[in-house]
Amino acid sequence: MAVCLKTEAAVGERTRLPEPGPPVQDLTLKAAGTPSPHQIEAMRRVSMPLQDLPNLRVQGSVLRTNKRKLRGSVSEGLDSECTPRELIQPCSPTLKHQRPACKGKENDGEQFVLARRSRRKKESVSGVSLDHLPDELLLRILFCLPLRDLLRTSAVCRRWHRLAVDECLWRSVDLEGLIHVGPALQHVLKTGVRRLRCPRAFMEELHLSDMSSLQLVQMDMSNSTIPTPALESIIGGCRLLEYLSLEGLQLSDAIMTSLSENSRLLQLNLSGCSGFSAAALAHMLDSCSCIQQLNISWCSFNSQHVKSVVAHLSSSVTHLNLSGYRENLTLEDVKVLVTRCTNLQILDLSDSTLLMADCFQVLRQLGRLVHLSLSRCYQIHLAALTDVGQMFPLLGLLDMFGVVHTSHMAALKKDVPHISINSKPFSSIARPTPAGRPGDGTMWHQRCRLRFKL
């Protein structure tokens, strides 16, 4: 009886948390001998876990409330008593393992979590957004932008980039004044430009690719610094040229051969050029039979080059500048020229020192001549000019710089009152920019829409 009371007392003490239960050794029988069944049952209940005690029904909220106190009691029991470990294990929290967000082959190596961006609420905006405008209207807006703003617009988004490089916006471009024009020129050529103005530019070694289908119709590369291979690539991709100026450039036979592919060429300025043979020049003139204005003055020519010019010029030529050949141009060459080009209206034979007064009898066959230049042809005397008005009834301009002095100008004007003498010091034949106005910005009397400004 004493043993049962003591056991129930021990169970009662255990249920009153957070005080530690009685020592285990107090629950053992002090009497010697074999324990009874009641004693064994009491000892079994003492060693049971806390939640399995039959007389203990503790709610989850109470356990959660006294969790911290229970941990303190268990730890004190470990320090002071030989408390069974089964009473402590149910109270220890279980560790939670993170699970991957999704299972698949991509999660075999590493675990990652897929995050989803929160959706922003669309604000109601009054008016029309540019994103809702059709391409035709946006192209019309971009057409009004200058070159710099158009390049910046192309970096906004993919749609605007596609619209900003549309060929309808890049039909005429002026790159005059741009230093290291190579990258810009390569970009412009890919946009399908039709009119390109790039005079007095500096270009480094270029590696141009896919230049086989250029849409160039007018191009001015006068007095630029450009490697000959790069110029060969550009001219080699042109088949639609009508107006071309390569004044002062180093050319080659390959360039002349490529020029012969442009059968619609109307105006060609090769003033001051060099590096090509007489045979390549003759082949180009034979192929380009539609040329109306040709400036081929002051080139690095010999007598064979001059003969190739006069012998292969087309009858369609109306403006010709063949000045600067001193001893290489003879009267026989002039006769061949007049026979082939009967429609000449403007003719410049200045600095041909072998020509004399008898050349007027040959030139009078040009019944449509309105402008004649024989400046610095020193063997032509002043008396031969008095009959010029009768030889050339349509002649309105006569340039004789270096032949007619100022003191004789008044007397000569009385003899030929309808002719203006020495009024055009510069030739404008086949030149893209008007003579005397290099900064005009026009190219064959038209301005380029996109222009680079410093």
SS3 per residue for the chain: CHHHHHHHHHHHHHHCCCCCCCCHHHHCCCCCCCCCHHHHHHHHHHHCCHHHCCCCCCCHHHHHHCHHHHHHHHHHHHHHCCCCHHHCHHHCCCCCCCCCCCCCHHHCCCCCCCCCCCCCCCCCCCCCCHHHCCHHHHHHHHCCCCHHHHHHHCCCCHHHHHHHCCHHHCCEEECCCCCCCHHHHHHHHHCCCCEEECCCCECCCCCCCCCCCECCCEEECCCCECCHHHHHHHHHCECCCCEEECCCCECCHHHHHHHCCCCCCCEEECCCCECCCHHHHHHHHHHCCCCCEEECCCCCCCHHHHHHHHHHCCCCCCEEECCCCHHHCCHHHHHHHHHHCCCCCEEECCCCCCCCCCHHHHHCCCCCCCEEECCCCCCCCHHHHCCHHHHCCCCCEEECCCCCCHHHHHHHHHHCCCCEECCCCCCCCCCCCCCCCCCCCEECCEECCEECCC
Quick one: pLDDT band at residue 36, thresholds 50, 70, 90?
low
Looking at residue 292, its pLDDT comes to 96
The per-residue pLDDT of the chain, averaged, comes to: 79
Hey, what are 330's tokens? 């003879």
CA 137 to chain centre: 23
> Long-range contact list for 15-18, CB < 8 A, 24+ apart?
15/53, 15/55, 15/56, 17/66, 17/69, 17/70, 17/73, 18/66, 18/69, 18/70, 18/72, 18/73
Looking at residue 432, its pLDDT comes to 94
Stretch 374-388: mean pLDDT, rounded? 90
Going by C-beta distance under 8 Å and a sequence separation of 6 or more, which residues neighbour residue 382? 403, 404, 408, 412
Looking at residue 296, its pLDDT comes to 96
Quick one: pLDDT band at residue 83, thresholds 50, 70, 90?
low
More confident residue, 153 or 117: 153
Residue type at position 360: F
Residue ranges covered by each domain of the chain: 201-451
Stretch 35-51: mean pLDDT, rounded? 57
> Long-range contact list for 356-364, CB < 8 A, 24+ apart?
356/331, 356/380, 357/381, 357/384, 358/331, 359/331, 359/334, 360/384, 360/387, 360/388, 360/391, 362/331, 362/334, 362/335, 362/338, 363/334, 363/338, 363/391, 363/392, 364/391, 364/392
Q: Which of 35-39, 94-98, 190-194 tops mean pLDDT?
A: 190-194
Q: For residues 399 and 369, is the Cβ–Cβ distance under 8 A?
A: no
More confident residue, 220 or 413: 220
| Topology at the third CATH level for domain 201-451 | 3.80.10
Is pLDDT at 454 greater than 80 in this prediction?
no
Looking at residue 362, its pLDDT comes to 95
Is pLDDT at 63 greater than 50 in this prediction?
no
**In the chain, % of residues over pLDDT 90:** 41
Residue type at position 12: G
Count other Cβ atoms within 10 Å, centred on residue 252: 18
Looking at residue 61, its pLDDT comes to 44
Q: Which of 196-210, 221-235, 317-331, 402-416 tops mean pLDDT?
A: 317-331
pTM for the structure as a whole? 0.69
Looking at residue 436, its pLDDT comes to 62
Quick one: pLDDT band at residue 239, thresholds 50, 70, 90?
very high
Looking at residue 370, its pLDDT comes to 96
More confident residue, 13 or 371: 371
Quick one: pLDDT band at residue 269, thresholds 50, 70, 90?
very high
Looking at residue 25, its pLDDT comes to 46
